[in-house]
Chains A and B, each alone.
Chain A
């Protein structure tokens, strides 16, 4: 069966510090991978998606970046965090066509102080 992992589960970082969040998927090959952010009281916002190694598409301009160094690994990064980067970050995966279900990880709670 497939599983998705995210770490860390929670993170508190000062403004201006770097960020690295990791997501890995097990039990499937060549998944589509997604990063979402959920700000307090707001819906999920798609940040990045990837259909293969080294292929990253960005949905919104921001100081965040994403990388996919391996087939089942998706990393969200920032060189300098802003207060507005605080939120709940969710990684998701799917396979096949655009009609398939997305499966979400447990999330990372990021607080920027």
Chain B
């Protein structure tokens, strides 16, 4: 059974810092890994999707990496801003089965 773990559960940083969020999964037989952002009481917004054959994806200040063999992914956020404050979720997918981590709650202080 696939299990997805995100560390840390919560993170607070001052504005401008670079930061890394971690995601690990137990079964490397995945099709893709996706990072989402969730604002309080809202739905999920897709940030980056990494296919199993890819090593990383970049979008603006965000960079996500995938090491499928070791069951790890990182989300790097450069020059963090208060607007980045949210919960970040990673999810791994195989067929129609998508497993989520519990998320990292990020607070960026001005």
Chain A residues within 8 Å of B, Cβ to Cβ: 6, 32, 34, 36, 41-46, 49, 51, 57, 59, 88, 90, 92, 98-99, 101-107, 109
Contacts and interface: CB of A to CB of B under 8 A. Distances in A.
A104 B44 contact: yes
Given A41-B102, A43-B103, A88-B41, 18 more contacts: A6-B43, A32-B96, A36-B100, A43-B100, A44-B89, A46-B97, A46-B98, A46-B99, A49-B96, A90-B44, A98-B31, A98-B93, A98-B96, A101-B46, A102-B46, A104-B46, A107-B42, A107-B43
Contacts of A44: 44, 89, 91, 100
A59 B100 CA distance: 14
Given A43-B101, A99-B32, A106 B96 contact: no
Contacts of A98: 31-32, 93-96
4 closest A-B pairs by CB: A104-B44, A44-B100, A43-B100, A43-B102
Given A43-B4, A109-B41, A102 B34 contact: yes
14 contacts: A43-B4, A43-B100, A43-B102, A44-B100, A46-B98, A49-B96, A51-B96, A59-B97, A88-B41, A90-B43, A90-B44, A98-B31, A99-B31, A104-B46
